[in-house]
């Protein structure tokens, strides 16, 4: 970065005030996005590093996963990364992310109160971004939720 770039960056930080620290959940999503990108790009070393950062979020290096199935899938992903088996790691990650989104959808559907529904939807949107690198659109969410837009009709 040039001196002008550094000065510009420092100035913008000074003008905008203190930077807000991301929440634990946002940090998990960011590292999860890095893991996704590294696996897609075939960057074994980067994927290993992102995996270890993500693993540090949970007890006994389980990452952010409480679900026993996803915890085991995450550990298998780590074993394949450690062994240098990129193809198996990519496959493991595909299964893990599918199950993660399915769990998020179930949490949204089962959420009772408005606060828990909002939290569940925020988790779904965060995980979608971590996996696909873009915000979930209404049609993306409808697709995940198993709702067909053609099944909804509005009568005047």
Give the model's pLDDT for residue 122.
87
Q: Which of 130, 122, 134, 127 shows the shortest CA–CA distance to 34? A: 130
User: In angstroms, rounded to a whole number, what is the distance separating the alpha carbons of residues 61 and 88?
Assistant: 20
Return the higher-pLDDT residue of 19 and 145.
Answer: 145
Which band of pLDDT confidence, cut at 50, 70 and 90, is reported for residue 142?
Answer: confident
Give the model's pLDDT for residue 146.
74
Helix (H, G, I), strand (E, B) or coil at 67: coil
Ranked by mean pLDDT, the top range of 25-34, 75-84, 118-127 is: 75-84
User: In angstroms, rounded to a whole number, what is the distance separating the alpha carbons of residues 6 and 119?
Assistant: 37
**Residue written as token pair 């496959």:** 91
Region 67-90: what's the mean pLDDT? 94
Return the higher-pLDDT residue of 139 and 154.
Answer: 139
Give the model's pLDDT for residue 25.
83
Give the model's pLDDT for residue 156.
37
Give the model's pLDDT for residue 11.
39
Instruction: Check if the beta carbon of residue 51 is closer than 8 Å to that of residue 33.
Output: no
pLDDT greater than 90 at residue 50: yes
Return the higher-pLDDT residue of 146 and 130.
Answer: 130
What tens digit of pLDDT does each residue of 94-119 get? 999 999 999 988 888 888 777 788 88
Which band of pLDDT confidence, cut at 50, 70 and 90, is reported for residue 147?
Answer: low
Domain coordinates in residue numbering, the chain: 21-138
- The stretches of 41-85 forming alpha helices (DSSP H) are 44-55, 68-82
């Amino acid at each position: 970065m040039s001196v002008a770039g550094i000065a510009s960056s420092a100035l913008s930080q000074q003008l905008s005030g203190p930077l807000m620290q991301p929440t634990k959940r946002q940090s998990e999503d960011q590292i999860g996005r890095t893991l996704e990108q590294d696996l897609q790009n075939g960057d074994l070393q980067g994927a290993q590093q992102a995996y270890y950062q993500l693993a540090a979020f949970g007890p006994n290096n389980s990452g952010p996963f409480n679900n026993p199935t996803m915890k085991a899938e995450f550990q298998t992903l780590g074993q394949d990364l450690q062994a240098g088996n990129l193809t198996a790691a990519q496959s493991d990650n595909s299964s893990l992310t599918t199950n993660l989104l399915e769990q998020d959808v179930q949490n949204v559907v089962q959420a009772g109160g408005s606060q828990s529904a909002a939290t569940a939807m925020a988790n779904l949107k965060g995980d979608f971004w971590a996996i696909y690198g873009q915000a979930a659109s209404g049609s993306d969410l409808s697709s995940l939720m198993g709702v067909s837009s053609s099944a909804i009709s509005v009568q005047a």
